[in-house]
Chain A
């Protein structure tokens, strides 16, 4: 097999301080060297904010051609040096799927979005039609669906389909599974594996959910902290993925935060009574009923696009059911303040000039905020602007700001997306801290696909599905002993 990608002495720095020599500068990484042969399937993993996305963006040319940075060293694609080639040149050989698919969608119809890159590379209409049909059947998306009504996971599938349609032999995927349900994620991984094994595609996939990706990959590139104080990270390459074990031992014991005195006759806080809800022509809920009692900890599971986030929005009152009603003491405007809702994208909830101001805004007690600062390790960034933080740090800050208000009801929408194991542990410990502080009557409703976190996020599970019967209730009070909490929580459901 010939070499698909070679990186020689590659260094990256965002330190633009004047007068500093290369030795004095702060480097994200320095003098990286690796070779990837055609047909390799590689997982790129490591802590949040360690530079995985930057490495991917250097290979496809986004850094430094679209995002300014100091880059040294050379990149060879299929033996040709592309260091000075702009993004559009490299795109001929390298396909990229980025994080935040919502920001990349141009068209209002799924089919138009998928064929757009094919139009750019001068494909014939017939070939476009064939590829479109294949990609639609692979992703399960509908050609005429409106892109604005797709869920986060469906948008991610759409962007992946767009890239696969271009047919480049090197694929770079930056957390493409973040919002996908396990079944969709496995389908995508199987497809990538097939492309890599049978058609010689080279795949580099960055992902935190190591246990999901590991069975498919040939090599693991692990971003680890560098020993050089001027360099943040370096790469550890494990040639044989089978010898690599993911470390989840640091996670807290689920039983340690199991509730002991939840009242058997707890009052209902949300009674969903026979609601219907439609998005366009799609019926998301049809005669759906559900009850959440005070102190309950529910996790909503289900395939992409089955209405998990919509259900949170219905409970909060952002959207109203087409038919039926949701009875809750929190329907009153003055009680809405007692609900904390952590959104998928933290950018919407951060606006103060400093991290400190953000945390203390609306905080119920300064002592609790200080505990959260220590827990999340915000001590050294209190004076920083919240939007200057990395994505993982912003997510943790957004979460901390909401729970600092000590809400009676907490809605969490994919709280662990993009978080490494350490970040996830901090988040779970913060939830335990919140419960410790305010007793056991906190009600938590979480939407998650994250197999790592689900067993720790609740003890009752609501499974939504497109298929008939589209709804199942799973009440499982037994703490999970394995990776999944109960036999009824099939992988399809997560």
Chain B
């Protein structure tokens, strides 16, 4: 019998959909005078549902990226435009909190339960995984370059060669390894496969959804009334 695993994680499909909604709505609302209320409301909601670790992780990114975008906008635009650019980054950051909390395997299993073809769900998983692998590989290659005593400042051409050739080779090698590994581990687009755990909706998901959608509806109403 399939058992539904008790976790504190919100359902991955809900997180994916809400993350998209939050970003799109955020972009619509950036020019509203109450945009900061929008950010504060959802930040409080996320804190209530224990997303604080991810929020802390994202703050440096939002600050840095927001400042860069604001500064770039300021070159050709007004102070107000720069503020809007920062708001857009804030909206992206809010959406990022939800999307980054999705555990890839949970998303794959939830998509499988919705009968989404396995090549799509697994493709999505590998794309997510590849970003992480890419980051690790870059770190290792930079370490290897340092070990051969090559510096970008003194020999930029050699440094670029030492960076891009191993990076290309590693990416190709990892892609080939992953493809072979998938085939030899029985992955097939023809078979639906089974699921180790069932990702189902829990009471926590319902409470989160009700609160999230209520807040979003209120802001949508404010936005429409303003127009």
Contact = CB atoms under 8 A, between A and B. Distances in A.
Interface in B140-185: 140-141, 143-144, 146-149, 161-162, 165-166, 169-170, 173-174, 176-185
A123 interface: yes
Given A120-B191, A122-B193, A348-B166, A104 B186 contact: no
A62 B181 CA distance: 10
B146 A62 contact: no
Contacts of B143: 318, 348
Contact of B166 (A129, A318, A347): A347
Nearest to B126: A106
A341 B147 contact: yes
Interface stretch (A44-52, A110-118, A134-142, A284-292): A110-118
A107 B192 CA distance: 19
Interface in A314-339: 318, 336-337, 339
Interface stretch (A1-9, A95-103, A185-193, A241-249): A95-103
Contacts of A108: 103-105, 129, 132
A350 B163 CA distance: 10
Contact of B186 (A60, A86, A120, A318): A120
A118 B187 contact: no
A148 B132 contact: yes
Contact of B194 (A124, A347, A405): A124
A123 B192 CA distance: 12
B92 to A, nearest CB: 23
A88 B181 contact: no
A359 B209 CA distance: 62
Contacts of B186: 88, 91-92, 117, 120-121, 166
Contact of A88 (B125, B162, B183): B183
B5 to A, nearest CB: 10
Interface of B: 1-3, 103-105, 125-126, 129, 132, 136, 140-141, 143-144, 146-149, 161-162, 165-166, 169-170, 173-174, 176-188, 191-197
B105 A107 contact: yes
B178 A106 contact: yes
Nearest to B130: A106
Contacts of A347: 166, 169-170, 173
A387 B148 contact: no
Contacts of A362: 148-149
B140 A348 contact: yes
A348 B188 contact: no
Nearest to B183: A87
Contacts of B187: 88, 120
Contact of B149 (A103, A112, A337, A348): A337
B185 A166 contact: yes
Nearest to A106: B129
Contacts of B144: 343, 348-349
A66 B185 contact: no
A405 B104 CA distance: 44
Given A62-B184, A91-B185, A116-B185, A103 B166 contact: no
